[in-house]
Chains A and B, each alone.
Chain A
Amino acid sequence: GENVEQHPSTLSVQEGDSAVIKCTYSDSASNYFPWYKQELGKRPQLIIDIRSNVGEKKDQRIAVTLNKTAKHFSLHITETQPEDSAVYFCAASIGSSYKLIFGSGTRLLVRP
């Protein structure tokens, strides 16, 4: 069945360093790849997304890259800050449907 794998499960970085989270997906027809941030006890919120016709997208300190051939996409956070500490989820649409399948999440800790 459809599957999204996410790595690493936990990531600890020093403030100011970069963080990279990687995901792979199984459905070659997937065309939409969002990233959500969930702070402790809060709801997931969209931070950036990318569609299959684009290879890279950037928004200030965060960027997402997509390799459709290899079926993987990555989240890059530069100049990390303590407020970036949260759980980050990648997701992929299932084919052309409106379903999103989420990865298992990455707990990011930014040490001051």
Chain B
Amino acid sequence: DAGVIQSPRHEVTEMGQEVTLRCKPISGHDYLFWYRQTMMRGLELLIYFNNNVPIDDSGMPEDRFSAKMPNASFSTLKIQPSEPRDSAVYFCASRGDVRNTGELFFGEGSRLTVL
């Protein structure tokens, strides 16, 4: 397996624009997580899905953020409209059955810069 795949790797956009980040989890993993990483706030959990269903979105900062998982192999995180304070690295991670292993497998991240 190629691991968790995220796109784009880098995105530079202007304030007010819509941003869509994409993630393909590892095949067979039932859980998908979106994290945001900044120097000030560290790794923050935004939302996670189980079997394509959003389980906990309490970390989503505000209504400008939305996430979907239309099928087991694809998820998106959308920011509309974007603001400079959204600049961060956004990581997607997936995990299999926690009874076997709790390991989170992270993608390489999407570095977002909002000007």
Contact = CB atoms under 8 A, between A and B. Distances in A.
Interface stretch (B13-21, B42-50, B67-75, B76-84): B42-50
Q: What bracket does the count of chain A residues touching chain B fall in?
A: 20 to 34
| Chain B contact residues: helix, strand, loop or mixed | strand
Interface in B34-91: 35, 42-43, 45, 48, 50, 55-56, 91
Given A43-B109, A49-B102, A93-B102, A100 B42 contact: no
Interface string A34-53: 10100000111110010100
Contact of B42 (A32, A42, A51, A105): A105
B98 interface: yes
29 contacts: A32-B98, A32-B102, A34-B102, A34-B104, A36-B104, A42-B108, A43-B91, A43-B106, A43-B109, A44-B43, A44-B91, A44-B104, A46-B103, A89-B42, A89-B43, A93-B102, A97-B56, A98-B48, A98-B50, A98-B55, A98-B95, A99-B56, A100-B102, A102-B35, A102-B43, A102-B45, A103-B42, A105-B42, A105-B43
- Chain A facing B: main interface SS: strand
Contacts of B95: 98
Contacts of B50: 98
Nearest to A49: B102
Interface of B: 31, 33, 35, 42-43, 45, 48, 50, 55-56, 91, 95, 98, 102-104, 106-109
A43 B104 contact: no
B99 to A, nearest CB: 11
Given A101-B45, A102-B45, 10 more contacts: A34-B104, A36-B104, A43-B106, A43-B109, A44-B43, A45-B106, A46-B103, A98-B55, A99-B48, A105-B42
Contact of A43 (B42, B98, B107): B107
Given A34-B102, A43-B106, A98 B31 contact: yes
Contacts of A42: 108
Nearest to A34: B102
Contacts of B31: 98
